[in-house]
């Protein structure tokens, strides 16, 4: 079965006619079935869909990688297009996600979670299917969730916090999830932000799911918050999976992206808005 992944939202664009926006969204097409993975902050989703000549008519499901606004801001518009639709996410997707920069202690923490309440989205037609574990959520499409995390393999983004009582605590982003797409050869790993840590995700894919090779790794990797040693380990692990296409975007960071491009050469492709990948 042919699988097509079209990038609808990213910080950058792949060609003229598209708009860039901080966030991520991808349209997955498998045969006659369509799925939406994340929705970006909201502005770019309808415009870039139109530029691609695509729409959300007949969409089967919406998958959310986590509850940050730059991945959920387009939810309201998407549900308005589809009417009743199943939304697959971790139970903590509506957590009180905040951002606070310890280097700027006088700047108050800012809410960066989903702009809409669960009740409001359900009023538009959303039917939430909360999953805190890995499950085949659609034919040939696995929702990867509830992954054990080695603290040494997590991105070091200390700005992400949760409001707890009158104070702030580190946000574990327990709602972070990824997708694994079956293809005619090896699977494709689709990431939203990889807050779980790409090293932890790859370990899980190999040791728990039993996948030893990947056709492609697409999406946000949060590698900009990995130190040099962890970045080198991530590159080594990607090599071990014999990945054909490394297509990173959003929260990867320019430095990490350049490092990946230098290492993987022609196998590296920016997953910018408007980019289309066929498997």
pLDDT number for residue 164: 84
- What's the predicted TM-score (pTM) here? 0.97
Helical spans, DSSP H, in the chain: 44-52, 69-72, 75-82, 118-124, 198-207, 228-240, 254-264
Query: How many domains would you assign to the chain?
Result: 1
Structural domain containing residue 272: 3-278
* Residue 63 predicted with pLDDT over 90: yes
3-state secondary structure of 277: strand
pLDDT number for residue 1: 86
pLDDT in tens, 220-262: 999 999 999 999 999 999 999 999 999 999 999 999 999 999 9
| Percentage with pLDDT > 70 across the chain | 100
- Residue 85: name the closest of 143, 41, 129 by CA: 129
**Residue 59, domain CATH:** 3.60.15.10
């Amino acid at each position: 079965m042919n699988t097509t992944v079209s990038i609808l939202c990213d910080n950058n664009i792949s060609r003229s006619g598209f708009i860039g926006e901080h966030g991520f969204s991808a349209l997955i097409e498998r045969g006659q079935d369509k799925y939406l993975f994340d929705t970006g902050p909201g502005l770019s989703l309808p415009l870039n869909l139109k530029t691609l000549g695509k729409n959300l008519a007949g969409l089967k499901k919406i998958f959310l990688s986590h509850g940050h606004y730059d991945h959920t801001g387009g939810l309201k518009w998407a549900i308005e297009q589809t009417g009743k639709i199943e939304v697959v996410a971790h139970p903590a997707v509506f957590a009180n996600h905040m951002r606070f920069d310890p280097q700027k202690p006088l700047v108050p923490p800012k809410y960066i979670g989903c702009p809409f309440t669960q009740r409001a989205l359900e009023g538009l037609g959303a039917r939430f299917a909360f999953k805190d574990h890995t499950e085949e959520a659609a034919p040939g499409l696995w929702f990867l969730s509830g992954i054990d995390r080695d603290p040494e393999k997590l991105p070091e983004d200390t700005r992400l916090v949760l409001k707890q009582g009158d104070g702030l605590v580190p946000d574990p982003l327990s709602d972070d999830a990824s997708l694994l797409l079956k293809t005619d050869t090896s699977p494709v790993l689709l990431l939203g932000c990889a807050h779980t840590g790409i090293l932890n995700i790859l370990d899980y894919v190999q040791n728990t799911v039993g996948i030893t090779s990947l056709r492609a790794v697409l999406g946000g990797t949060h590698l900009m918050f990995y130190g040099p040693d962890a970045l080198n380990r991530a590159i080594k692990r990607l090599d071990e999976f014999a990945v054909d296409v490394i297509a990173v975007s959003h929260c990867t960071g320019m430095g990490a992206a350049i490092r990946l491009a230098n290492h993987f050469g022609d196998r590296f492709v920016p997953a910018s808005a408007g980019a289309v990948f066929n498997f």
